[in-house]
Amino acid sequence: MGITEYQVVKIKVLNKFKQQCRQWGLLLSIGGALCLPTANAGIYDGNASVVQELDYGEVLYQFYQAKYFTASVALLVAKQKGRLEAHKTDADLLLGGFYLAYGLHMDAESIFNKMLEQGAPEGVRTRIWLNLAKARYRKGAYNDAIRALEEIEGEMPADRKDEIQLLMSNLLMARGEYKQAVKVLQKLPSDNDNEAFAKYNLGIALYKSQQQILGAEQLDAVGLVKSNHPEVKALRDKANLALGFALLSAQDSKKARAYFERVRLSGPFSNKALLGLGWTSALQENYKEALSPWVELKSRTRTDAAVYESYLAVPYALEKLKAYNQALAAYDEAIKVLKEELVNVEHAESTIKDGKIWQQLIGKLDQNENSPVIEIKDLPSVLEVRYISSLIANNQFQEAIINLRDLQYLKLNLKKWRNDLPAFKHILDLRRKTYSERLPKLSPEKGNFRLAAFKKERDAYKNEFDKIVKNNDIKRLATPEEKNLVDRLNDMKDSLRRNKSRMDKQQYANYETKYKLLKGLMEWDIGSTIKPRQWKIQKQLRSLDKTIKETIEQQKAIERARKAAPRGFKGYAKKFKAYEKRIKSLQSGVDGAFEQQKKVVQDILVAELAWLKERLAEYLDQANYAMARLQDIGSNE
Amino acid sequence: MSKFKPNWLISVLTLVMASLVFGASFAASNKSTRTLEEKIQSLKKDVMKLNRDLFVLEEELLFPSSTQVAVFLSVDVGNFFRLDSVQLKLDDKVVTNYLYTQQEIQALARGGVQRLYVGNIKKGKRELVATFRGPGPNGREYKRATTFKFNKGTGTKYIELKIADESKNLQPEFVVKEWE
């Protein structure tokens, strides 16, 4: 290989590397990483308070499923109904957090500010300031976000301290104050949960504060982090890949190779690592060794540009190994594939520009508010994954899709309410009809008359009972059996009186004694149990009083309902009209925003495809040129 | 190639600088869509408010407090039982059958409370039967029914079904609680 050709190859490698930086978004996160691991971290401390109201528990149930819209609505409803009194402070803090997670940064900030103005307790203030800082960070109000973090004071759990420091470092970096960011990040304990993210940021901050060696060391450390967490694994691969390509561009193939070899073979960065690995061998003119990762890469599904590049890299290595026929065949294959891809990309581009893609893409957007935004498997068939693979991991694209999904959810939500309103009206009409039919039957006059009769009867019983008690008329408290016995004793007394003349004295005296004994026994039986008998009657009278009182209450309730019912029905017609109007107006607003958002997504997609077309055309030129050159060599030989 | 110094670390700087340029272009692009972003935020908030008002109206119309009964479900610890499904019978009539997703189970395990059923019943004595299914102790299929008799008065009746752990006999415990 001549010197000129060698330089051409190196320039090519470097150019590829630069292209890949852009294409893969490899270093995008280095420049602007907000390494806060989860979206809803800090919104709520799981055990901050025990659920004291069921509605609050329900809000948490929705929140724990990341259904921020539903959770917010449940919270607003419970608040309006006064069912969150026991969780007032937590509820406000949660609502602010939900708004933040749902992208309502301005409303979140307004809630947090209000809580601070109203003098939230010390422990809660920390959470408020932190959430406020996050809201401001997302709005791009970095100075205000830093001021919010500076308000935080007092004791707090270690993980929260770390979260605050991480956010502060990101804010400082966003303001270009890398030296200060380094100071903040260096204070973070090495055993914190976000160690890898912190080191990653520290590496970047060091770099940008002109401490490249230290920065590279940090990135190198990230490349060795052990973790089972998918996000950390991806970060590790990214760091290794970035360092690998950086070393490759610095002609240090040996060191570069070590970094590429650290990247997982099955991870999302494996294709790029295989490409880089091949180049480390190629730059050392070990083309046989370079073929191994490149052939493997070429055999893979064309999910990203690295695979495309292998179509050029393999014949290039074959050519260097002087396997001209095989190289020619491989270039021929590359030309066919690239041409085919160009046609496909152009087709995809026109489908997007014509707006035909939306029918497919919107259908793929999940109707659940908490579903993953968009995954590779969700893409419409016309939009091959490899065409927009770098967009899948791109924040701007993902946020655009999130907005689209949220607007789609709002559309469906409004449609549902619009369909439900007639049902509500129907229910109301039905109830109005039922009232109008039943109420006249519940004549209060008739009820009052019957109630008066009951009360009169009750009063009669009471008077009779009072007389019995006053006169100690125990016989009137006798049971029917006892009354029967009393009657029989009275009959016995009459019989004795009537037959006295016909009986001898002794016989009469015996019967009279017997009569008196039985009478005495009877009076004893009744007299000795008079108190329980009186108590029993009093209890029955009390029960009667209670029943009459309840009846009076019920009658009053019916009367109230009778009077209130027509009034209660009156307001609804107006309400329904107002709701219909609100729904229609919101539907129109959401539809408009949806169309505008589609345009945003469309522009991103078209720009990406245009860039890809350019790359494919360039690859095609290179393949055609190489093929022609090889054919020339063949004809000359 | 001469612009690349031998020290490989300097090259990483170049790499990072490239990313900065890239990052800046995104910031500019974001600015252009800010108005739309604000419009979307405002719409989201308005739809939320509408939902709040309509849910209140719905409850007023469909479930007035004089007839409303609401059944909630919560899980306390739940080491001895993993809920798969629950069936609710109110006065011997099946009113709901619910099958849980993994996400819902996790939300319950973290302390969330599910509003399982809302319906209307007349005043008086009522009976609620909840049948829980899922893997119980030792992973074996477990089915357990809990009966709860209650009196429906004039106010809304709130009932909470709580799945707890009975550590004494290492069995799940199904507790029913009435809320005021």
How close does chain A come to B112, measured CA to CA in Å? Answer: 4
Which chain A residues are within 8 Å of B47, Cβ to Cβ?
A: 410, 413-414, 586, 590
Confidence of residue A181 (pLDDT cuts 50, 70, 90): very high
How close does chain B come to A422, measured CA to CA in Å? Answer: 12
Among A427, A349, A354, A359, CA closest to A384:
A349
Identity of the residue in A63, A427, A582 whose CB atom sits nearest the CB atom of B61: A427
Give the DSSP letter string of A179-206: HHHHHHHHHS-TTSTTHHHHHHHHHHHH
Count of all residues that appear for chain A in the document:
637
Q: What is the pLDDT of residue B28?
A: 37
pLDDT at B149 over 70: yes
Which chain A residues are within 8 Å of B48, Cβ to Cβ?
A: 69, 72-73, 76
Among A17, A54, A62, the residue to mutate for chain B (most B Cβ within 10 A): A54
Give residues with Cβ within 8 angstroms of A586, minimum separation 6. A410, A414, B43, B46, B47, B50
Interface ipTM = 0.85
The 8-class DSSP code of residue B149 comes to E
Residue-wise pLDDT for A317-370, tens only, equals: 999 999 999 999 999 999 999 999 899 888 888 888 887 777 767 766 666 777
pLDDT at A384 over 70: no
Residue-wise pLDDT for A224-239, tens only, equals: 988 888 888 888 998 8
Q: What is the pLDDT of residue A374?
A: 60
Tokens of B3: 């612009």
Among B3, B7, B8, the residue to mutate for chain A (most A Cβ within 10 A): B8
Higher pLDDT, residue A585 or A4:
A585
Q: What is the pLDDT of residue B21?
A: 30
Higher pLDDT, residue B137 or A39:
B137
Mean pLDDT within A144-148: 91
Higher pLDDT, residue A47 or B163:
B163
Rounded to 5°, the CA angle A500-A501-A504 comes to 80
Confidence of residue A442 (pLDDT cuts 50, 70, 90): low
Helix (H, G, I), strand (E, B) or coil at B118: strand
- Would residue A390 be called left, alpha or beta, if left means φ above 0 and alpha means ψ between -120 and 50 degrees? alpha
Q: Could you tell me what percent of chain B has a pLDDT over 90?
A: 58
pLDDT at A420 over 70: yes
Q: What is the pLDDT of residue A22?
A: 37
The model's pTM is 0.72
Mean pLDDT within A387-403: 76
- Would residue A469 be called left, alpha or beta, if left means φ above 0 and alpha means ψ between -120 and 50 degrees? alpha
pLDDT at A156 over 60: yes
Among B162, B148, B155, CA closest to B180:
B155
Give residues with Cβ within 8 angstroms of A534, minimum separation 6. A465, A469, A477
Confidence of residue B134 (pLDDT cuts 50, 70, 90): very high
Q: What is the pLDDT of residue B6?
A: 26
Higher pLDDT, residue A562 or A114:
A114
The lowest-confidence range among A471-480, A536-545, B111-120 is: A471-480
Mean pLDDT within A1-15: 41
Confidence of residue A19 (pLDDT cuts 50, 70, 90): very low
Handedness of CA A610, A612, A616, A621 (dihedral sign): positive
Tokens of B140: 């074996």
pLDDT at B13 over 90: no
Pairing of strands B157-166, B68-75: parallel
> What is the average pLDDT score of chain A?
83
Handedness of CA A530, A531, A535, A538 (dihedral sign): positive
Q: What is the pLDDT of residue A48?
A: 44
Q: What are phi and psi of A532, to 5 degrees?
A: -60, -35
Confidence of residue A277 (pLDDT cuts 50, 70, 90): very high
B46/A589 Cβ within 8 A: yes
| CB-CB contact of A257 with A265 (8 Å) | no
